Amino acid sequence: MTDVFFYIFATAALAGALGVVFSRNTVSGAMCLIGTFLSMASLFVLLEAYFLAVIQVLVYAGAVMVLFLFIIMLLDVKETAAKKASIYTWAASLIGFGILITGVFAISAAVSIKNKAPTMPEASGTSLKAFGYELFTTYLLPMQVTGFLLLIAMIGVIVLSKKVNTE
């Protein structure tokens, strides 16, 4: 049963991602991205990482995308006309596609993943407290550093939005 839902949500996530790339209307692109995030969250739920799923919705679908939409509306981006692709675009897409194919083959051929999969430890996300324990013991330093990173980002917001007073 979970497998069926996995395929449904995986397809939805991929379809949304393709929609982001191909839609001419920027708002449609943003909405497709929200769809992808929600499908990703559903996939997290299927993996029993409930906390991660909820945070995915809260941060990406609920906060980051609001900013995206604001920017799209602030800049008043209109529908872009179809552009003729240059030789570089073709080359880049070809290389990207090649890397994708190689990656898929490499993963599906890798013996170690297939062997290890059943013996993987249970996802630590099932117990909500596990996150807290790890975050405040093993990963305490990275967490505090993240706090400082966010502080720097706040300074960045001011720098970006305020005019520099040269007088």
Partner 1 sequence: MDVNPVILKFVYAATVVSVIMGLCSYAVLAERKISSWIQGRVGPNRTSLPLIGGIPLIGKFLTRLGIYQPVPDGLKFLFKEDVVPAHVNKFYFIMAPVIALVPALTTVVVVPFGRFVTEAGEVIPLVLANVNVGLLFLFAISSLGVYGVVLAGWSSNSKYPFLGGIRASAQMISYELAMGVSVLPILIWVNAPGREGTLNLFDIAQAQSGFWFAMWMPVSAIIFLVCLFAETNRLPFDMAESETELVSGFHTEYSSFKFGLFFVGEYAHMVVGSCVFTLLFLGGWNPMPFVTLEALGFGEGILGAILSVGIFSGKMCGMMFFFMWIRWTLPRFRYDQVMKLGWKILLPLSIANLVVYTIFIFYLDTKL
Partner 2 sequence: MEVSDFAPVLVQVAFAAGLAGVILTASHLFGQRGSKGIIKNSAYECGIKSEGKTSTRFSVKFYVTAMLFILFDIEVLFLIPWVLVYRDFIANSLPILGPILFFLTVLVVGLVYEIKKGGLDWEK
Q: Applying CB under 8 A, which residues contact partner 2?
A: 2, 45-46, 48, 50, 55, 58-59, 63-64, 66-67, 70-71, 73-74, 76, 126, 128-129, 131-133, 135-137, 140, 143-144, 146-148, 150-151, 153-155, 157-158, 161-162
Q: Mutual orientation of helices 128-136 and 140-161 as an angle, nearest 10°?
A: 90
Query: Which backbone phi and psi does 154 adopt, to 5 degrees?
Result: -65, -40
Task: Give the residue carrying structure tokens 């975050």.
Answer: 135
Q: Which stretch binds partner 1 (CB under 8 A): 8-16, 122-130, 139-147, 157-165?
A: 122-130
Helix, strand, coil in percent for the chain, rounding step 5: 80, 0, 20
The verdict on 57 binding partner 1 (CB under 8 A) reads: yes
Smallest separation (angstroms) from partner 2 to the CB of 81: 19
CB 72 within 8 A of CB 26: yes
Closest distance of CB 59 from partner 2, Å:
6
